[in-house]
Amino acid sequence: MATHVYVPSDAEYEEVRGQRLLGFLFFLISDCVIFGDFIFSYLYLRNASPVWPPPGIERPYLYLAAVNSIVLFGSGATMHYAMEGMRHARLRQFVWFTVATIVLGSMFLGGQAYEYTHLHDTWSGSTFGASFFTLTGLHGFHVFIGVIFLITVLIQTLRGTYTQQRHFGLTAATLYWHFVDVIWVALFFLFYIY
């Protein structure tokens, strides 16, 4: 590290980390609200319609989504092991599990792209389509950001930015990834089952 850069002491780092962690949690909460808004809209429109999905609209294919869900939850598991690696300073474990997570995340996006192109309903076609494409699209966008996020922290790690003690960026990426997983549970239930 260049000498003119201020290096915080451990106590200072802990303090700043606490602030950032809280800030990041707050960010996730407000992100949750954004999903909540559209989920509310979905439930409201569903409630306003005598039959659901609206007449002439088919639900998207459950099994494709189920496979996709497994892929996404799998990525949650690999993410967990990647973090374990960092916590115990096992760099190789971290790198490979992170790569696995990125691959699984991308597979999920691919699955979603396939699904989008094979649906008859459209964004502007019905209230079901409106909610479906808005919510899953928003979620897919989150996954996409998550993948970018992971690639970034991976590169950062390889360049030695993070250490066993100081790796807030990684913590944030992990939290974010798990958050996106949990949102998917709700969406899966709403659109494919309920």
- Amino acid in the structure at residue 127: T
Q: Which of 1, 29, 66, 187 binds another protein (CB under 8 A)?
A: 29
Draw the binding track, 139-158, toward another protein (x: CB under 8 A; -: no contact).
--------------------
Residues 37-66 that bind another protein (CB under 8 A): 37-38, 40-41, 44-45, 48-49, 54
Which 3-state string (H, E, C) describes 99-145? HHHHHHHHHHHHHHHHHHHCCCCCCCCCHHHHHHHHHHHHHHHHHHH
Q: Compute the distance between CA of residue 69 and CA of residue 175 in angstroms, rounded to an integer.
A: 18
- 18 touches another protein by CB under 8 A: yes
CB of 149 to another protein, least distance (A): 17
Q: Which of 6, 63, 92, 117 binds another protein (CB under 8 A)?
A: 6
The answer to whether 75 and 177 are in contact (CB under 8 A) is yes
71 near 179, Cβ under 8 Å?
no
Contact between 12 and another protein by CB under 8 A: the answer reads: yes
Query: Which residue, 66 or 182, has its beta carbon nearer to another protein?
Result: 182
Q: Are 109 and 165 in contact (CB under 8 A)?
A: no
- In sequence order, which ranges of 49-61 are alpha helices (DSSP H)? none
**CB of 188 closer than 8 Å to CB of 69:** yes
Omega before 53 cis (within 30°)?
yes
User: Per CB under 8 A, which region of 22-30, 64-72, 74-82, 93-101 contacts another protein?
Assistant: 22-30
Is 26 a binding residue for another protein by CB under 8 A? The answer is: yes
Residue range at the interface with another protein (CB under 8 A); choices 81-89, 118-126, 165-173, 184-192: 118-126
Binding region for another protein (CB under 8 A) = 6, 8-9, 11-12, 15-16, 18-19, 22-23, 26-27, 29-31, 33-34, 36-38, 40-41, 44-45, 48-49, 54, 123-127, 130, 133-134
